[in-house]
Structure 1
Amino acid sequence: AGGGEEGKTVMGMLEIVFGGEELLARPRIIGLISTTSPLQISKKSLETMLAYAQYGQPLIISPGPIAGVTGPVTLAGHLVLANAEALAGIAVTQMIREGTPVVYGIQGSNGDMRICYPAAGSPDSALIVAYCARLAKNYGLPSRSGGIKNDAKSVDVQSGYESMMMMMVSCQEGINLILHSAGILDTFMAMSFEKFIVDLEIIGMVKHFLGDISFDEKRLGVDVIKKVGPGGDFLTQDHTLEFLHEEHWPAEISLHGVSAPGEKPREELKEKILNKKQKMLDAYQQPDLPSSIKTKLDNYLSGLGIYPREIIR
């Protein structure tokens, strides 16, 4: 939450792009409100809630207490505190403007009590994600939590196993909105292009896993099993050709097979990551915005003492 003035500025920009009536008619942006644990909402956050709710724009109310530091050390107590903060924030949004869309969030973690610092990629944090989803479902609200939270300092083994666990839990439990889906390192303190690419691979794996297995008659493959018989192979069968592109998950950067003498798998993986990153950058197309709207936005911000062209360049 940036505060009331920033919230009003954002609403003014949206009015220029979409028009005032259209802005009130449907959501065009979503705000994120983090409570100040334990049991506080800052003045800036309240002002932001006021600015967004008055325009009917949705708000995520997302406490993030640290178990043992800004919340009870027990996970049950942590959830009691976070739940109370989330529901209080949601109640405030409805007091401002009844019917304001809200998302229930808990983005907390346990604390590593040896250093008094969040352990965002721990299994305890994963349990908090799971219960965020379950509590939100109990209240009939959409949920926000999880993602690829991790505490690793670089794109390494730790970043991989922590991110996979967090994303798997988030998706299995049915979290509706995942803000930190790719690129995060070092307990939210860093972003990495290379980690972003690795996380896309993780997301692809999780989505494929959760897609389950289709057991229709053709996929059961009874006829082709009879045809091949004992000791045969399925490599050249029409059944294989028919399903090979749609049945299995197509890895983009993962390395498979046996490394030949002299090959450097670590360097090969790094090269595949960098190649995919460049491919995505080359394919990017900036969204079209009419020049008249750009001019109005520039003039609006300049009138507030904000010079976007200087910031961008």
Structure 2
Amino acid sequence: MRPELRYLSNKDLEYVHNLALELLEDMGIELCAEEARDYFRQAGATVEGEIVKIPRKIIEDALKTVPKRDAFTLYGRDPKNDVKVNEALPSLAAMTMATSVIDPHTREKRPATDQDLTDLTKLLEIMDNVSIASGLITPQDVPLESSDWYTWAGTIKNTTKHITGGAVGKEGVRDAVEMAQLALGGDIAFEDRPFISFWVLTSPPMKLDENPLNVLMEASRLNAPSVISSGGILGISSPITIESAIIHTHAETLAGIALTQLVRPGVSVLYSSYVRSMDMQTMSVSMSSPETAIMKSIMAELGRYLDLPTKMPTNLRDAKLLDAQAGFETGMVGTVGALTTDFLVSMQLDIDLVVDYADLPYSNECISQLRRLVRGLDFSDKRIALDNIRKTGHGGSYLNAKHTAKNFRKELWTGDLTERGNWKSWQKDGGKDMLEKCAERAVELLEQVKDVTLLDAAVCDKIDAIADSAFEKAKAIKR
């Protein structure tokens, strides 16, 4: 049985859920797209201008048709990368949209490029604890208006894992899905194996803007899963108290879920939230404060309460470098995430703005430890092995026992980068700290994957052509 962390009791979860339903029913939510309002109006909601007051029955009906955890599969382009969340331990999901990288060779911070996107995605492809290989960076050397298109092209060409990304309007969704269909080779319909999903961000408090609504509706029509997320900031766009902030955050997510099921009953949704705190001294948002960690856990608990797959930003660090602060933040917030959510959004520094190549092998090893931590126990006869205890006897040693030889590799976590030797052996190996080892490993891995291609050149050219032709289209779309 997998261990859990709980901030809220079942009674608390029910109370928060009902308060969120109450908010949607009496206060309503602002929906800035007429088509979205029409879907709710036809379902029986009251529409007053752009405010939609949603009866609880609409939410309850949506929660009956949205796929639950035991029916949910996160598809990869390659079936070997499919994940069933009811069976899986937590895994990493690459965050998106950083604008800078720490160069793997010079170790200097610089703007992210389209080549970085290719290289980082190739690394994500070979990381064994990564399930969602999203575009960690948005390239800064392509036209800004169509940068999302280039991000989709770069990721789809270079990974066979699931990808989550942003899109601009219905056109952006359609083009990303067309790229995905090209990668599938036409042999498999995208609707049967939707291996990409779309971020849909609310505009707290209690509002969804036109662009995310259009993305949500078009993605649902095409059977692409949506990752619905509210990113309020305590004291700014969310109430200052955690207890209050989680209520409207949950309400916004419920409204998004309901819209997906009005558009296409049965389309998949991942429950997510970016509600976070702000340092009132520096006025900087924090992705790794204690308050943020608490809220990530609570929101994951609410997602589990709905029996939905959950995806939370639990490995994003405020630290600027892969240093002691980053290590502590990874340990604190990562442990909370491993105990509460299915996919830990990760591998960015400086409040989501910077990607260090060294962070990929580092985060992959960290989640490996966390997966061991939450694996749970099994008190079966085979595991207890009383005959082994009796055979060894009083004061004996288990070092030479067959039970030890048979089980120690599975039972004891062994790291690839973590230092566990004595001081003398560490010095003999070069006396390198974790950052040095991870930076070197990243360069080694880049060399291994530099010539790897996953799609035929002709297919890549067609995918690139979609991105190249998107500039004028993107300029015309209302953001």
> Which interval holds the TM-score relative to the shorter structure?
0.7 to 0.9
- Structure 1 residue 275: Cα displacement: 4.2
After TM superposition, the structure 1 = structure 2 runs for residues 155-174 of structure 1, keeping only pairs within 5 Å, are 155-173=322-340
1:73 — aligned with what?
240
Q: 1:140 to 1:228 in 2, by over 3 A?
A: closer
Q: Does 1:8 align with 2:184?
A: no
Which of 185, 188, 192 is the equivalent residue of 2:356?
192
Counterpart residue type for residue 202 of structure 1: C
Partners of 1:262 and 1:289 lie apart in 2 by 42
SS of the equivalent of 2:342 reads coil
Q: 2:8 matched to which residue of 1?
A: none
- The question of 1:211 aligning with 2:375 is answered yes
Aligned pairs (5 A) from 1:164-313: 164-173=331-340, 175-178=341-344, 180-181=345-346, 183-217=347-381, 219-220=383-384, 233-260=397-424, 263=427, 267-284=432-449, 286-304=452-470
Greater fraction of residues in strand: 2
On the 8 A contact 1:253/1:273 being kept in 2, the answer is: yes
**Structure 2 Cα separation of the partners of residues 155 and 190 of structure 1:** 11
Structure 2 Cα separation of the partners of residues 131 and 274 of structure 1: 34
Partner SS for 1:67: coil
The structure with the greater share of residues assigned to helix is 1
Distance 2:434 2:168 in 1: 43
What 5-or-longer segments of structure 1 have no aligned partner? 307-313
Deviates more, 1:238-247 or 1:191-200: 238-247
Q: Using the aligned pairs only, state the percent identity.
A: 25
Q: Are the structure 2 counterparts of residues 224 and 275 from structure 1 closer, same or farther at C-alpha, using a change threshold of 3 Å?
A: farther
- Out of 321, 328, 335, the position equivalent to 1:154 is 321
Summarize deviations over 1:195-252 as a string: whole Å, max 9, x none: 2222222101111111234545565465555565666544444443333322200121
Structure-1 separation of matches of 2:381 and 2:217: 56
| Match in the other structure for 2:254 | 87
What residue is the counterpart of 1:139 in the other structure?
Answer: 306
Residue 33 of structure 1 pairs with residue 200 of structure 2: yes
Letter in 2 for 1:164: G
**Matched residue, 1:42:** 209
Structure 2: give runs of 5+ residues left out of the alignment: 1-165, 473-479
Question: Aligned in 2, Cα 1:55/1:228: closer, same or farther, shift over 3 Å?
Answer: closer
Which secondary structure state, in structure 1, belongs to the residue aligned with residue 302 of structure 2?
Answer: helix
Aligned length: 303
Using a 3 Å threshold, how does the CA distance of structure 1 residues 177 and 152 change in structure 2: closer, same or farther?
Answer: same
- Alignment check: 8 A CA contact 1:35 1:41 kept: yes
From 22, 45, 55, the counterpart of 2:222? 55
Matched residue of 2:285: which SS? strand
More displaced stretch, 32-41 vs 12-21: 12-21
Looking at structure 2, the residues matched to 258 and 238 of structure 1 have their Cα atoms a distance apart, in angstroms, of: 28
Give the match's secondary structure for 1:129.
helix
Normalised to the residue count of structure 1, the TM-score between the two structures is 0.83
**Measured at CA, do residues 300 and 121 of structure 1 come closer, stay the same or move farther in structure 2, by a change above 3 Å?**
closer
In structure 1, how many angstroms separate the alpha carbons of the residues matched to 2:243 and 2:187?
44
Task: Determine the C-alpha separation between the residues in 2 that align with 1:139 and 1:300.
Answer: 38
Distance 2:280 2:213 in 1: 31
- Where 1:253 maps in the other structure, the secondary structure is coil
Structure 1 counterpart of 2:455, one-letter code: L
Is the deviation greater in 278-287 or in 129-138? Answer: 278-287
TM-score, normalised to structure 2, is 0.57
- Secondary structure of the structure 1 residue equivalent to 2:172: helix
Deviations 1:281-302 (A, max 9, x none): 3443735323442343344444
Change (3 A) 1:9 1:239: closer
Give the CA RMSD over aligned residues. 3.0
